[in-house]
Structure 1
């Protein structure tokens, strides 16, 4: 099976968008890199990688910790990621597989 050349869009992604690309997009929303209406549907990996570089630069400013974000970004982070977690759980995601490497 061939890998797709473009991203399906966070709203159509597997696991309710709880994928690596989905997390990049949500963080881009948090930092205002992308508008919250941007699903990145049809984007190629170079476009996603460009967003990742910008997201990483923003996280670096805050030591990669939510607790170091200014209050308005903490609120936005909680709202965006909280809604995503809630939606993903409704779609059957539980998040336990993300802890498997910690064992």
Structure 2
């Protein structure tokens, strides 16, 4: 054993909790939406944090062009966004995901 910690990598959106309803899964879905990755091929399995950060930066630059608003996206990208998110939510619900479970209760 070398004693060095193993480098953590992403398990892939297809293996991610509730089908990618995580911050990292959101990066992958955004990359699909903007055509940076192929939906049918690129799950980002095995990607390290540095590579995911680069992808996040690219998707953020693209979102900034549209002021981070879905309504401002061109029709083809908006339609892809709606389809990808609709399919992702359906998969997540089938796996037991409940949107309300992601919201922390205010304890005050």
Same fold, judged at TM 0.5 (above): yes
Distance 1:70 1:86, change over 3 A: same
Q: Which position in structure 2 is the counterpart of 1:67?
A: 71
Checking the alignment, whether the CA contact within 8 Å between 1:30 and 1:77 is kept in structure 2 is yes
Q: Does 1:15 align with 2:22?
A: no
Deviant stretches of 4+, over 4 Å:
none
Distance 1:47 1:73, change over 3 A: same
- Which sections of structure 1, spanning at least 5 residues, go unmatched? none
Q: Which position in structure 2 is the counterpart of 1:46?
A: 50
Q: Which position in structure 1 is the counterpart of 2:92?
A: 88
Q: 1:44 Cα shift?
A: 0.3
Checking the alignment, whether the CA contact within 8 Å between 2:19 and 2:91 is kept in structure 1 is yes
Q: Which is richer in helix?
A: 1
Give the whole-Å Cα distance in 1 for the aligned partners of 2:61 and 2:22: 20
- Which sections of structure 2, spanning at least 5 residues, go unmatched? none
Q: 1:98 Cα shift?
A: 3.5
> Between Structure 1 and Structure 2, whose CA radius of gyration is higher?
2
TM value normalised by structure 2: 0.86
TM value normalised by structure 1: 0.90
Distance 1:51 1:95, change over 3 A: same
Q: How many residues align?
A: 102
